[in-house]
Structure 1
Amino acid sequence: MKKLFILPLAFLVLISCGDDDSNIAPIEQISGGTIFGTAEHPLNIGGPNQPNQVYIDLSSEETKEVARNSWDLGFYCGDDFRVVINGSMKMAVKPLETTDISLPQEEDSSVAVGTFDATNMNYIDHPNGQLAQTAFGNLATSEAAAKVYLVNLGSQVPTTMPDPGVSNVAGDPRGWKKVKVWKDGSGYKLQYADLEASTATEVSITKNAAYNHIFFSLTTGATVHAEPEKDKWDMNFTTFTNEVFQGTQSFGAYFFSDYVVINSKAGVKAVMIQGDSAAFDAFSINALNTGDFAFSSDQRAIGANWRNVLPVQVYNDVFFVLQDSDGNYYKIKFLSMLSADGHRGFPVFRYALLQ
């Protein structure tokens, strides 16, 4: 996993336009495999505002698109009890020194993504996707012991079309909430309210073992199935909250567009391999079995490693191999990230089963 290094900070803000198909640009001639991002296999991310997360199951050639603002919290359905926040919306949370949700609270500008302060990593789920490193941490076993959390809901999905080559994925602030969450038998209890409210809404969240998480929207008060079943997706195109560096120095949590995460919670792994289109075409299961490849279970194993922003283009000298939860291996090469008129949010990739 490569560290994400930042250019001079003013430049980074500029190129990301507030933080990092219909017309598909011409792509290289290819033969064999399946191509996603075409009329036959669309990837409806929604253009440079990237309003949708798109989940892909390589074995079935199926996708599922979900409005990325449709959920705020995800409740883990495995044996452990963990809560994740919606990093695709720039969310951040901070524990408060109280268990009384009836007390009024105030906004805290430090609890935010993109402050260029490494301490803001404390307010997000770790970008590697490990459940042991969530911002909510270990959950209490009772309402009395559960702390109140200050919740920054992040940024709205904007609708303004940016200039070609620029992403516009972070709009106006979505506001704030205060929440409490704790273990409740085999499930969860959640309380949430506006910051000034003296009463909170309480809901029960029931685990469903078919999914990684059950999701909940603090704005609509609804439970949401924002992901396919855990064994029915491999990778997800999304906006993403990651950590950035200048040299070895962390500048904390920062917001990215054109990002790919893998389904690491279900056992999916991936590795990046140096090689051009000819090397991709020639790569076989025998090459995989006889080579020395270190597969990663970090959900950022593909991440932003497939594309550049200066200039805005895919890397032609790398491809990826993904191992799904059934043990199948797929080689993946990204072909484009722009529409015919140069707008971001229109990825195209080719993949094939290694056999």
Structure 2
Amino acid sequence: MKTKLLFIALFSIALISNAQQAVNLSMGASYANEVFYDFSEDESYSYTAADWDIAFLRTSAYAFATRINDGAGIELFEVSNTPADYATVDIANEANWTQLYNSDTDWMLGAFDQGTATYGWGEYNPTTHVVEGTTTFVLKYSDDTYRKFFIEDFYGGYTFKYSTWDATTSTWGADVTETVANTSNPNRIFNYYNLATEAEVIAEPEATDWDLKFTRFTTDYPYNGTTMKYTVTGVLHHPDVTVAENTESGAGDPNAQTYMTEINTIGYDWKVLNASYQYDMVSDMYYYVKDIDNNVYRLHFTSFDGSSTGNLSFNAEDVTSQLSITNFDNGDSFGFYPNPAQGQIEILYENQISTDVNVAIYSITGQKVLEKELKNNGFYNQKLDISHLNTGNYVIKFATGNQSTTKKLIVQ
């Protein structure tokens, strides 16, 4: 019963202490930009959507993924899984090609990875320990430009060749061969390449600087009792972020949610096109976004203008403090609020047996900056003065008997 009282106390105070923040973003007219958003810093980053054709996973020497820019209207087809067929690609045979799509649930399954080779576009060579290309692809653009494309190998990066179809002469142009190394653009998840300009481009922030990506992507769209591949405008989340979707009114509970890894959990269906061809927001649809540091933000969309401006808005509320309750095996519980904090925090805890109860705060370098013994054998709330601490991130450690827990504390 006391544990329930602790949770109710912490939950009620958290509702008061957390304020909603209105966020306004724009993808630009005709969705000209892809926009990345970081909750913790309330920061957005915008990149021209059509600046890249292919994205190459760069985070590992052993893991690879290759995505097509489907949001810019580029289609990808597998022509053949025989390397020699690269030389004889004929666009008159387009009807016989197989169209491939990016996964909209997993960043690590790009369209190129969906080909018929063991690794989508190639086979592993056990002698050289290199994945070698076997599959010829064609990229088709919205202006009917065609480019044939072949990944030759992956070994700490991607070596590939490609050629552009010349419609006036009905021939392929000279091959361009390029290598995009994993070491390019360190601290980002993908490297991006523009085939027309024959250059790498930066099209995303550093991996620690974003949670959500507002973009266009291909999904299985409901149609006449089945699904069809269709390009939608919506949200994909960072690979290290998890998201819960919940239908609710009033205040929701982030503790009661099921957090999903599928990157399209927010997706596109938070808005509905009405009879006047304007977008209505789904009023009772909320999302809980848990970032890499286990901070949780409650998200609710409030407007979407569509392609005329690409403007959208949502309310974001940091509800991390509502997750700050920890239940120990011995029946003890611990929580604190607010977080972020200024001047002081309030410790709420329950101690079932008479034993040592201690709370300490550490800087991110591991230096202990505050320590206090707490009362034991009961349900308590106790204020803790932190006015002497500089702004920044800290770790708060609560210990009871031989059990302990640590949580992140943000001092503003």
* TM over 0.5, shorter chain: yes
Q: 1:109-120 to 2 correspondence within 5 Å?
A: none
Q: 1:151 to 1:332 in 2, by over 3 A?
A: same
**1:64 aligns to what SS in structure 2?**
strand
Q: After superposition, where does 1:225-240 map in structure 2 within 5 Å? A: 225-240=202-217
Aligned residues: 278
Shift of the 335–91 alpha-carbon distance from structure 1 to 2, 3 Å rule, reads: same
Alignment match of 2:153 (pick from 178, 183, 190)? 183
- 2:232 is matched with which residue: 240, 251, 256? 256
**Counterpart-to-counterpart distance in 1, 2:107 and 2:22:** 30
Q: 4+ residue runs of structure 1 moved beyond 4 angstroms? A: 107-112, 141-145
1:57-92, Cα deviation, whole Å (9 max, x unpaired): 111111111110000100001331221111211322
Residue 64 of structure 2: which of 69, 75, 81 is its match?
81
Change (3 A) 1:198 1:90: closer
* Matched residue, 2:377: none
1:320 shift after superposition: 0.7
1:210 to 187, 190, 210: 187
Deviation at 1:111, TM superposition (A): 8.8
CA contact (8 A) 1:211 1:229 kept: yes
Q: Give the gaps of 5 or more residues in structure 2.
A: 1-17, 125-129, 166-170, 322-412
How well do the aligned residues superpose, as a CA RMSD in angstroms? 2.6
Does the 8 A contact of 1:92 with 1:111 survive in 2? no
Question: CA 1:222/1:111 → structure 2, altered by over 3 Å: closer, same or farther?
Answer: farther
Amino acid at match of 1:95: E
Residue matched to 2:20:
33
Matched, 1:152 2:135: no
Amino acid at match of 1:222: A
Q: Residue 66 of structure 1 contacts residue 226 of structure 1 at CA under 8 Å; is this kept in 2? A: yes
From the CA coordinates, give the structure whose radius of gyration is larger: 2
Report what 1:92 is aligned to: 75
Residue of structure 1 aligned with 2:242, choices 269, 291, 302: 269
1:117 counterpart residue number: none
**Partner of residue 288 from structure 2, selected from 313, 321, 332:** 321
1:197 aligns with 2:167: no
Match of 1:167 in 2: none
TM-score, normalized by length of structure 1? 0.71
Letter of the structure 1 residue corresponding to residue 282 of structure 2: Y
C-alpha distance after superposition, 1:313-332 (max 9, x if no partner): 11111111101122111011
Change (3 A) 1:238 1:133: closer
Distance across 2 between alignment mates of 1:108 and 1:131: 30
TM-score of the pair, normalised by structure 2: 0.62
In structure 1, distance between residues paired with 2:158 and 2:192: 12
Where do 5+ consecutive residues of structure 1 fail to align? 1-30, 38-42, 113-119, 156-172
* Matches of 1:108 and 1:44, distance apart in 2: 40
